[in-house]
Chain A
């Protein structure tokens, strides 16, 4: 790059000012983590477009990917999405709806969650946001592990954000603490089998575990809930539970602080990737 000497003299100042404008200091560490992971995967799997990471293990196998596209053309989980839509559209007893209650009518917002609510001093997942609507309108909250209510409702509500780029923010020291807690969990060896999430989904991503290609952590949080086998709904926390059971660790509760923190860190890694709710998985 050719830089004039005048420009070169003021460049350091420009860079400093620009850095102050764009980067809130608390965001720096998460952005470093994400950047390092992107660079590591891109050098390990050269030529794979970043957007393809949302396909998980399917990104390594063209035939499996075609099989997936065939199923997605006529999704067997359509009835569950319809049930979710019915829940979404049915007004609360006071006549209000989720669309009245959520920012932007609930459209193109899911990729901003989890987010740290500085006033309430708590991390808010998309499911918590839906439950807040219920509570604020006099309805009982749904259980986070109930597929027939929260599960199908989330599957539909998140689909209203399809195509949105993930945009998770970590913009205060309190938010950073939750992010760091999720990051620590992601790297902690747990269970009788002594595995961390990173052991499988970073170090061994792309390798085959018995019959199944292990997906990279990057892109994993963009497309939940998934329908395994076409009709079995798994929220993100249900998938965390499954992986913890596989390594014979005692899973945290769905909707617990531990899983919310993990989701915060895990979702941040997918920043910039396109959200697509409710996809088929084996």
Chain B
């Protein structure tokens, strides 16, 4: 999936005011990003690459137009139980055998620690 981030933001698909706002916020959120290693894991195309499929509306630094998966929002309400959320990421097939979401834990796409970090990040949004 590594090429997907290298695709240049395109003049016909990117909303410029939104992009400008994102960049501004990215700059001001720098401190938080450093505090939340899970964000780096989730955004990094070589690791979680969650943005290939999910928008994360509560995180202005999450630059994507993805519609392959549902937007990740209200995560704490939807998954009050963190282990449920963790299981989803570890192997989403437990919930939907036909899912296209990669089995991050079972296929060792992420380490156990990285998965915990992603859970922290999503729960902290």
- Whether A associates with B in a native complex is yes
Q: Which residues of A contact B (CB under 8 A)?
A: 61, 63-64, 67, 192-195, 199-200, 203-204, 207-212, 214, 242, 245-248, 282
* A192-B102, A246-B3, A282-B7 given; A207·B109 CB < 8 A: no
Contacts of A245 in B (CB 8 A): 2
* A203-B100, A282-B7 given; A211·B64 CB < 8 A: yes
Minimum C-beta distance from B100 to chain A (A): 5
Q: What is the 8 Å Cβ interface bit string for chain B, positions 35-60, against chain A (1 contact, 0 not)? A: 00000000000000001110000000
* A207-B68, A210-B5, A246-B2 given; A282·B10 CB < 8 A: yes
Contact B109 A192 (CB under 8 A): yes
Within 8 Å by CB of B13, from A195, A211, A214, A247, lies: A211
Contacts of A64 in B (CB 8 A): 10, 12-13
Contacts of B51 in A (CB 8 A): 210
Kindly state whether residue B78 has any CB partner on chain A within 8 Å.
no
Minimum C-beta distance from B7 to chain A (A): 5
Cα A207 to Cα B65 with chains together (Å): 10
Cα A195 to Cα B49 with chains together (Å): 15
Kindly state whether residue B23 has any CB partner on chain A within 8 Å.
no
Kindly state whether residue B107 has any CB partner on chain A within 8 Å.
yes
Contact A208 B107 (CB under 8 A): no
Contacts of A246 in B (CB 8 A): 1-4
Residue among A214, A247, A248 with most chain B CB within 10 A: A248
Contact B68 A67 (CB under 8 A): no
Within 8 Å by CB of A204, from B100, B102, B103, lies: B100
Report the interface size for chain B: residues with CB under 8 A from the other chain.
Answer: 26
Contact B9 A211 (CB under 8 A): yes
Cα A211 to Cα B65 with chains together (Å): 5
| Minimum CB distance partner of A214 in chain B | B68
**A-B pairs with the 6 shortest C-beta distances?**
A63-B12, A210-B4, A193-B102, A208-B67, A207-B67, A210-B52
Kindly state whether residue B66 has any CB partner on chain A within 8 Å.
yes
Contacts of B102 in A (CB 8 A): 192-195
Residue among A199, A203, A209 with most chain B CB within 10 A: A209
Minimum C-beta distance from B44 to chain A (A): 13
Within 8 Å by CB of A210, from B11, B12, B64, B109, lies: B64
Q: A192-B108, A210-B65 are in contact. List 5 more A-B contacts (CB 8 A).
A: A193-B102, A208-B65, A210-B51, A214-B68, A282-B7
Cα A23 to Cα B68 with chains together (Å): 39
| Minimum CB distance partner of B2 in chain A | A246
Within 8 Å by CB of A209, from B2, B12, B68, lies: B68
Cα A222 to Cα B81 with chains together (Å): 49
Contact B67 A210 (CB under 8 A): no
Contacts of B11 in A (CB 8 A): 67
| Minimum CB distance partner of B7 in chain A | A211
Cα A248 to Cα B13 with chains together (Å): 27
Q: List 27 A-B contacts (CB under 8 A).
A: A61-B12, A64-B10, A64-B13, A67-B12, A192-B107, A192-B108, A192-B109, A193-B109, A194-B103, A199-B100, A204-B100, A207-B67, A207-B68, A208-B65, A208-B66, A209-B4, A209-B52, A210-B4, A210-B64, A210-B65, A211-B4, A211-B64, A211-B65, A242-B3, A246-B1, A246-B4, A247-B1
* A193-B109, A194-B107, A204-B68 given; A212·B4 CB < 8 A: yes
Minimum C-beta distance from A58 to chain B (A): 10
Contact B66 A210 (CB under 8 A): yes
Contacts of B4 in A (CB 8 A): 209-212, 246
Cα A199 to Cα B93 with chains together (Å): 14
Residue among A61, A199, A208 with most chain B CB within 10 A: A208
